């Protein structure tokens, strides 16, 4: 397991108006956002009368086979979900989409993000008789919708949004509608696309590319999109003055080939490398990237610094999940299974090594040791994110503050602990420059401790 923040989920949805195979397209869509969650996957489809589903723990190709995709083939609306488990563990009952019956019919919900008031709402709902079968935030949302459904679907969705607080990008469905919702701060991504005449909603645009759909735009913060046989309806709910999109999506979570708010993730990562080279130059013979996520910024650094880029680290492409628990000792061995240093490239060289982030520092230390053993003369580490000093409360799996190396040590101390000759991070202003053409505002919580939404008792 690499020492990275982990995204917790990805969502997908499609409303067919062209005779498409929605179950298979959802399967491919989920495949393309597998990087957002590897512990469970699920697809729910509606045939107009009922919602049927298949879900389970494991990667998308482990959960689905030809038989269960065939069984889901009778539908014309589908949503899907991939999940990285949170503190509630990888329990089978927490797999999504959550499919429930209520007095108006059936609904299914797939959620990316985390609510900060889920336990308060759960207590309130239990006090008035609600029974929960999962630990998920989705079930809290489903409960609120079900209890307010007499007002009609639109009003129930607005009521739900007025009561929940936190990060949420949702794909939902009833028997006859596909729904996409993004929280008022717009913390997690959600994009709208079209395939022929059929609308598609997904966490990332790479899911559109894989099925041949075109990106239309991002779902706006606070927007509810309802797609029915009559077309697409957009409802804008109240939003704060400034949005707070997760800046870390650009640093690491999103796939390099995705586009968010009109900005190419690849272009922003490359620009981060260029800015890093201007902010923190180094005398070196080669620039290498830590694959895969550090590679694009490393190319930008090399270009700007006019130092040759070289493949100094090679990733083993066939490493899957392992049964071994990620203890400290195992992590160090683990990195050698995943990465190898190319002796011919690094021996005797002064190296700039670019990575996207340092969380605990364990992986970085192991990579530096490997490069030294392979004969690297100097190692200048450059990081294309600012120092991570705080955990995330909005749907990202992060260690506690005491485990974050950037929260507990100065840059000089980290440099010494990692055993590098120099260490520099991109500045917050520098990183913001890479996305300024979006005109959006960003959450910087894990860098500066200023979160867009205050947690009860304070976000620590
Ligand atoms: S705290 Fe960091 S990881 Fe979490 S939403 Fe904000 S920028 Fe993203």
Does 452 reside within a domain?
Answer: no
Percent of the chain with pLDDT over 90: 83
CA distance 315 to 144: 46
The tally of domains found in the chain comes to: 2
Does 451 reside within a domain?
Answer: no
Whether 208 and 347 share a structural domain: no
Q: Does 189 sit in the ligand 1 pocket, CB within 6 Å?
A: no
Whether 224 and 373 share a structural domain: no
Does 65 reside within a domain?
Answer: yes
Range of weakest confidence among 47-51, 52-56, 139-143, 296-300: 47-51
Whether 311 and 233 share a structural domain: no
Q: What is the mean pLDDT of residues 164-190?
A: 97
Whether 58 and 193 share a structural domain: yes
How many angstroms separate the Cα of 229 from the Cα of each of 46, 175, 178, 234, 320?
A: 13, 12, 10, 14, 41
Which of residues 91 and 436 earns the better pLDDT score?
436
**Beta-bridge mates of residue 205:** none
Average pLDDT in the chain: 92
Which of residues 359 and 321 earns the better pLDDT score?
359
Total-model pTM: 0.93
Q: Does 404 sit in the ligand 1 pocket, CB within 6 Å?
A: no
How many angstroms separate the Cα of 39 from the Cα of each of 84, 199, 356?
A: 5, 27, 23
Per-residue model confidence (pLDDT) at position 29: 98
Q: Quick check: 326 pLDDT over 60?
A: no
Structure tokens given for 289: 């990237």
Whether 237 and 286 share a structural domain: no
Ligand 1, residue 444: give the atom nearest the CA. 7
Q: Binning pLDDT at 50, 70 and 90, where does residue 315 land?
A: confident
Range(s) of the domain holding residue 272? 267-438
Q: What is the mean pLDDT of residues 68-83?
A: 94
Does 448 reside within a domain?
Answer: no
Task: Note the pLDDT tens digit of each residue in 249-290.
Answer: 999 999 999 999 889 999 999 999 999 999 999 999 999 999
Task: Note the pLDDT tens digit of each residue in 392-402.
Answer: 999 888 888 99
| Best CA proximity match to 82, nearest among 245, 206, 250, 166 | 206
Whether 105 and 58 share a structural domain: yes
CA distance 191 to 172: 14
- The CATH number covering residue 363 comes to 3.40.50.2020
CA distance 393 to 406: 17
* Pocket probe mutation, ligand 1, options 168, 203, 247, max atoms within 8 Å of Cβ: 247
Per-residue model confidence (pLDDT) at position 335: 76
Q: How far is the CA of 410 from the centre of ligand 1 (A)?
A: 21
Per-residue model confidence (pLDDT) at position 293: 86
Q: Binning pLDDT at 50, 70 and 90, where does residue 316 land?
A: confident
Ligand 1, residue 445: give the atom nearest the CA. 1
Whether 232 and 277 share a structural domain: no
Question: Annotated active-site positions, please?
Answer: 9
- Of 182, 209, 243, the position where a domain reaches its end is 243
Q: Quick check: 143 pLDDT over 60?
A: yes
| Best CA proximity match to 117, nearest among 99, 98, 144 | 144
Q: How far is the CA of 308 from the centre of ligand 1 (A)?
A: 33
Q: Quick check: 85 pLDDT over 90?
A: no
Does 183 reside within a domain?
Answer: yes
Whether 62 and 104 share a structural domain: yes
Whether 276 and 425 share a structural domain: yes
CA distance 311 to 308: 10
Whether 230 and 279 share a structural domain: no
Whether 235 and 314 share a structural domain: no
Does 260 reside within a domain?
Answer: no
Q: Quick check: 351 pLDDT over 90?
A: yes
Task: Note the pLDDT tens digit of each residue in 202-243.
Answer: 999 999 999 999 999 999 999 999 999 999 999 999 999 999
Q: Does 394 sit in the ligand 1 pocket, CB within 6 Å?
A: yes
Whether 152 and 278 share a structural domain: no
Q: What is the mean pLDDT of residues 326-341?
A: 71
Which of residues 88 and 11 earns the better pLDDT score?
11
Does 257 reside within a domain?
Answer: no
- The CATH number covering residue 233 comes to 3.60.20.10
CB atoms near residue 152 (< 10 Å): 11
Q: Are strands 313-315 and 339-341 parallel, antiparallel or unpaired?
A: antiparallel
**Beta-bridge mates of residue 173:** 108, 178
Asked if 258 and 202 touch (Cβ cutoff 8 Å), the reply is no
Per-residue model confidence (pLDDT) at position 90: 66
Does 107 reside within a domain?
Answer: yes
Cis peptide before 292 (omega within 30 of 0): yes
Q: Quick check: 6 pLDDT over 90?
A: no
């Amino acid at each position: 397991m690499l020492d990275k923040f982990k995204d917790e989920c990805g969502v997908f949805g499609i409303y067919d108006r062209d005779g498409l195979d929605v179950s298979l397209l959802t399967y491919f869509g989920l495949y393309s956002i597998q990087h957002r969650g590897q512990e469970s996957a699920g697809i729910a489809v509606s045939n107009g009368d009922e919602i049927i589903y298949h879900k389970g723990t494991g990667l998308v190709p482990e959960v689905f086979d030809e038989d269960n995709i065939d069984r889901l083939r009778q539908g014309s609306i589908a949503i899907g979900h991939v999940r990285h488990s949170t503190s509630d563990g990888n329990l089978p009952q927490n797999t999504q989409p959550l499919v429930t019956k209520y007095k108006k019919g059936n609904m299914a919900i797939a959620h990316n993000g985390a609510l900060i008031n889920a336990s308060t709402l759960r207590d309130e709902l239990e006090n008035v008789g609600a029974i929960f079968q999962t630990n998920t935030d989705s079930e809290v949302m489903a409960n609120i919708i079900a209890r307010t459904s007499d007002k009609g679907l639109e009003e129930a969705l607005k009521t739900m949004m007025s009561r929940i607080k936190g990060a949420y990008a949702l794909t939902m469905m009833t028997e006859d509608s596909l729904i996409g919702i993004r929280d008022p701060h717009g913390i997690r991504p959600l994009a709208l696309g079209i395939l022929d005449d059929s609308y598609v909603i997904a966490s990332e645009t790479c899911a559109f590319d894989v099925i041949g759909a075109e990106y239309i735009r991002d779902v706006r913060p606070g927007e509810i999109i309802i797609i029915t046989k009559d077309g697409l309806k957009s409802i804008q709910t109240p939003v704060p003055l400034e949005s707070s999109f997760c800046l870390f999506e650009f640093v690491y979570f999103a796939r390099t080939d995705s586009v968010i708010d009109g900005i190419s993730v690849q272009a922003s990562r490359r620009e981060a490398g260029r800015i890093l080279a201007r902010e923190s130059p180094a005398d070196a013979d080669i620039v290498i990237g830590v694959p895969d996520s550090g590679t694009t910024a490393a190319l930008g650094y090399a270009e700007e610094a006019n130092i040759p880029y070289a493949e100094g680290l090679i990733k083993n492409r066939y490493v899957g999940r392992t049964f071994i628990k990620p203890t400290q000792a195992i992590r160090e061995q683990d990195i050698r299974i995943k990465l190898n240093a190319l002796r011919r490239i690094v021996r005797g060289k002064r190296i700039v090594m670019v990575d996207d982030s340092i969380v605990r520092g364990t992986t970085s230390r192991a990579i530096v040791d490997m490069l030294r053993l392979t004969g690297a003369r100097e190692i200048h580490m450059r990081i294309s994110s600012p120092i991570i000093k705080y955990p995330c409360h909005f749907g990202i799996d992060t260690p506690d503050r005491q485990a974050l190396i950037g929260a507990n040590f100065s840059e000089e101390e980290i440099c010494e602990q990692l055993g590098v000759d120099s260490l520099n991070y991109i500045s917050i202003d520098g990183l913001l420059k890479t996305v300024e053409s979006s005109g959006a505002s960003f959450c910087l919580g894990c860098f500066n401790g200023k979160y867009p939404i205050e947690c009860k008792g304070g976000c620590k």
